Amino acid sequence: MKKNFGILIAGFIIILGVSILFFVQGRDMPGQLPDLSMKQPSDKSDNQTIATKESPLPIPPLLKDHNPDPNKAEFHLNAQNATKEFVPGKKTETMGYNGDYLGPVIRVRKGEEVSVKVKNELDDVTTIHWHGLEVDGDQDGGPHSGIQPGESWSPEFKIEQPAATLWYHPHPEQETGKQVYKGLAGLFLIEDEVSDRLDIPKEYGVDDVPLVLQDKRFNSDGGIDYSLGMRDVMNGLQGDTMLVNGAVNPFLEVPRGMMRLRLLNGSNASVYELNFNNHQSFHQIASDGGFLEKPAKMDKIVLGPAERAEILVDFSDLKKGETVQLNNKGSEFMKFKAKDKNSKDYTIPTNFPTIEKMDPDQAVKTRKFAFGGMGPRVNINGKQFDANRIDEELKINDTEIWEITNESGMGMMGEMVHPFHAHGAQFQVLDRDGNPPPANETGWKDTVLVHPDEKVRVIATFKHPGDFMYHCHILEHEDAGMMGQFKVDK
Ligand code: C2O
Ligand code: CU
Ligand code: CU
């Protein structure tokens, strides 16, 4: 008995020592940090470690609207615990909305009045945040809108912004990384008269297909769990196996014609660099907040965590049965297989609506946001998140310039890029280090990558009152405190 107690005490002292070491190391940041995690994550962030047979790409279902009124919509979402086999025969614990992993697609129209009944059937508190949607702070689903296990929350809002590919995900304080990693995320699509009018593919699941891109680190038993090693605390959890709509190694049969792909980087922490293995080019037609003025032709697209892009890809040169792979940093993770000819020939439209450029002279204020610190000490403007502190106060309908800089230090893999995201408004990128933004950043954005030592200036008008978050969208950084709050006063 006494001996057991001694062992217990000794164990406790060792654990205490290791944790102190962690934080002391964290404070001075030597170049080299010991990896204290039991699991040693691999160095290859772009190689697939889990080999599974290819399987058809799952298409997330469109969520049923329970309100018969055409100007209103009512949706039901249950956040629930589940199990899933990413690798056939190997069960792992997951979370999903109305299912075992990810959630259904909510599709609404501009002008609609929307209500959502969200039920929390998890064992933990959760929230649901409409990423990219312009709504009042109390409907936005930030950390203040916690839903206790067994309880429900019913936000209501009117859709007042143009057609776009947005998404929803949980936002509970310090638990966002885990809940998203376990599977809580879904797409939120807005349609309007412009998306109706444009001659682009729009048959959902056929030639208008969402691709929710994520990466996981699988255990040797084929399961996933959310346990952070030192490297993950520094860089965010970066997996080595890509998932598309929750599937490893998927394929999609495509018409030999134009495809519209709605890409979401739904990862916790990874920046994706996507291209096709046949090096064919494609056109980006929409960014986070909606259509671009002009399609941007590219042969590679970089997407940071939480960023979205709609692209048009022309597969009409493929022969029947031919395949094209989608790559991340040169590694293939998804296959497109050409089937019969598409019934309709599309060209890249030129009649996208103009986006009125916001005028920096209209801004009443310039605010600065500096990413700083690393690991457990990541911060913005030297401050870590405090739910009881409002960091910035704004006036409703004011236009402001936000100047975001990255002064943080080295991650485990070198200098870190941080994706900046603000709730409550879509913004325009004014410049990057004084230079005009690239073509695919000339439209509406809600998340921008900020590279080491870079200065990105964005401009926005804040049309909704309430409390909102701004933060790094590397979820482990957000959870560690790289987040602040702003209040928009009526
Ligand atoms: Cu996508 Cu504050 O979140
Ligand atoms: Cu958001
Ligand atoms: Cu970050």
Per-position DSSP letters for 316-374, written without gaps between them? TTSPTT-EEEEEETTEEEEEEEEEEEPSS-----S-PPP-PPPPGGG-SEEEEEEEE--
Comparing C-alpha atoms, which of 126, 67, 41, 142 is closest to residue 412? 41
**Confidence at residue 344, expressed as pLDDT on a 0 to 100 scale:** 85
**First-to-last C-alpha distance (Å) of the chain:** 65
**Confidence at residue 31, expressed as pLDDT on a 0 to 100 scale:** 32
What are the beta bridge partners of residue 483?
Answer: 471
Atom of ligand 1 nearest to the CA of 423: 2
Euclidean distance between CA atoms 170 and 179, whole angstroms: 7
User: Is the CB of 306 within 6 Å of ligand 1?
Assistant: yes
| Amino acid, single-letter form, for residue 219 | N
Phi, psi of 195 (to 5 degrees): -65, -25
List of residues 6+ apart from 324 with CB closer than 8 A: 276, 277, 278, 280, 315, 318, 335, 336, 338
User: Residue 20 pLDDT more than 60?
Assistant: no
pLDDT tens for each residue of 419-463: 999 999 999 999 999 999 999 999 999 999 999 999 999 999 999
Residue closest via CA to ligand 1's atom 3 equals 131
Atom of ligand 1 nearest to the CA of 171: 2
Between 9 and 316, the higher pLDDT residue: 316
Helix, strand, or coil (residue 446): coil
Comparing C-alpha atoms, which of 22, 35, 440, 453 is closest to residue 229? 35
**Confidence at residue 36, expressed as pLDDT on a 0 to 100 scale:** 38
Atom of ligand 1 nearest to the CA of 132: 1
**What's the mean pLDDT in 200-222?**
96
Quickly count: other Cβ atoms within 10 Å of residue 330's Cβ: 10
User: Residue 165 pLDDT more than 90?
Assistant: yes
At residue 410 the predicted structure's pLDDT band, cuts being 50, 70 and 90, is low
Quickly count: other Cβ atoms within 10 Å of residue 382's Cβ: 9
User: Residue 162 pLDDT more than 80?
Assistant: yes
Torsion region of 220: left, alpha or beta (phi above 0 gives left; psi -120 to 50 gives alpha): alpha
At residue 41 the predicted structure's pLDDT band, cuts being 50, 70 and 90, is very low
pTM of the model: 0.91
pLDDT tens for each residue of 101-142: 999 999 999 999 999 999 999 999 999 999 999 999 999 999
Phi, psi of 384 (to 5 degrees): -95, 160
Helix, strand, or coil (residue 9): helix
Euclidean distance between CA atoms 326 and 296, whole angstroms: 19
Quickly count: other Cβ atoms within 10 Å of residue 451's Cβ: 14
**Confidence at residue 204, expressed as pLDDT on a 0 to 100 scale:** 98
Residue closest via CA to ligand 1's atom 1 equals 131
∠ CA 258-260-266, nearest 5°, is 150
User: Is the CB of 421 within 6 Å of ligand 1?
Assistant: yes
Percent of the chain topping pLDDT 90:
86
Between 31 and 121, the higher pLDDT residue: 121
Q: Which ligand lies nearest to the CA atom of residue 419 in the structure?
A: 3
Ligand 3 center to 430 CA (angstroms):
21
**Confidence at residue 339, expressed as pLDDT on a 0 to 100 scale:** 92
Helix, strand, or coil (residue 80): strand
Token pair in block for residue 160: 């007042």
User: Is the CB of 457 within 6 Å of ligand 1?
Assistant: no
At residue 340 the predicted structure's pLDDT band, cuts being 50, 70 and 90, is confident
* Cβ 448 vs Cβ 404: under 8 Å: yes
